[in-house]
Structure 1
Amino acid sequence: MTTPQAEPQDRTYRSHAGIVGGVLLLVIVGWLGIDALFTGHGRSPWLALAGLILAVPLIVAFTLRPAVYANPDRLRIRNPFRIVVLPWAEVATLRSGYSNEVLTNTGAKFQLWAVPVSLRARKKAARREARAMSEATGTPRGGRPGLLGSGGRMGTFGGGTGGGAVQGGPTRAESDQIMTDLRELLESQGQHESAQGEVTVRWAYEVIAPAVAGAVVLAILLATG
């Protein structure tokens, strides 16, 4: 008697900055909207209610909702308005530029909203890497050789152990490291039998429907005002 195999565990990737920003926006919008609901006069409470129905799903969609789930069988992307499931065999490549994207064998392209590119983080990581290299080789960041003391021992800039990369923090931006992890999964799992299948795309009607309803109600209120 064979025992059923356990479902492979997902690695989850999300934008912590997006989550924090989303929570703050929800607090601000909720406070303003609820205040207008209970203290507003005339049409103000209705406008506030329609605005909340429109704004809250959109804030959740673009900040709290995005996530990327990866396991040895497939990549699942939860974007603001869609959920895309891609078996690794159907993934052609993962591309990084001003945004992180996955391309399928058929040419379809899906953006990874949960893994935003931060040019600032890339620059900081590049500076850390340059500092680590200078400490490891004894070369100042300005490019001149480090000072050697008597007996050939390394002077002020020397360590020679390569430990600067650890002390200075990570030498790669977080989003770039995530993309490297996903590429490694693609390379190692893309040909496996368990990674075969079809690409599926599902629209997030649980987000779209209330946002559209709020927009319609708000438009009617404004048009009849």
Structure 2
Amino acid sequence: MPASKGELLKRMSDGVVDMEEKDVIEACNEYLEAGYPVFDGIMEGLVDGMNRASQLYDDEEYFVTDVLLCSDAMYEGLSILRPHLSADEAEKEKPKGVIGVVEGDTHDIGKNLVKIMIETAGFEMFDLGRDVPLQNFIEKAREVNASFVCLSTLMTTTMVGMSKVIELLKEAGIREQVKVIIGGGPISQKYADNIGADGYSTNAVEAVKLIKRLLDVA
């Protein structure tokens, strides 16, 4: 007897939380074969699992490395389900964001975690990577019509790059359309206020809440 929709959704969600890529892949394939709605599988299975993992991280039961492994399992499932979304569901407009580590810094684990959490929350993210030339943030934000830019650094010597990005956005005439969120070890709310950033977040979970609040989305 084939598994019910609820059983398969739970297997997907549990597989993500337990970092079991094989279980997620098997559950997603069974889900497709059974003909259940693909969008529900993504949201109520994979994304639900990632939300649970982020809560465990927030509760300090999971570490960054755990969440990254959970995200690997989620992305494996997405690679199976996403191609089967209906055209209407696949083309739904998502708020877009640009993220990267500012020029001079190559620490990117925190940035990767923030990107995963924001994507899980339903935003489309464009990841520029690490040691990103400052002008690249402006060019990509303009290219994709981004609603926000996330800047990260773990080094005090590269913090000034964040204020330069804000100035470059002003010079490009798009500062009013783009929210700027900053974060990283040496960053503080005071520094965000000083350079005119729209927000500062201490961790990935709070970053999602902040972006939703700034963009006024549920």
Of Structure 1 and Structure 2, the greater strand share is in: 1
- TM-score between both structures, scaled by the size of structure 1: 0.18
- TM-score between both structures, scaled by the size of structure 2: 0.18
Of Structure 1 and Structure 2, the greater helix share is in: 2
Q: Name the larger-Rg structure.
A: 1
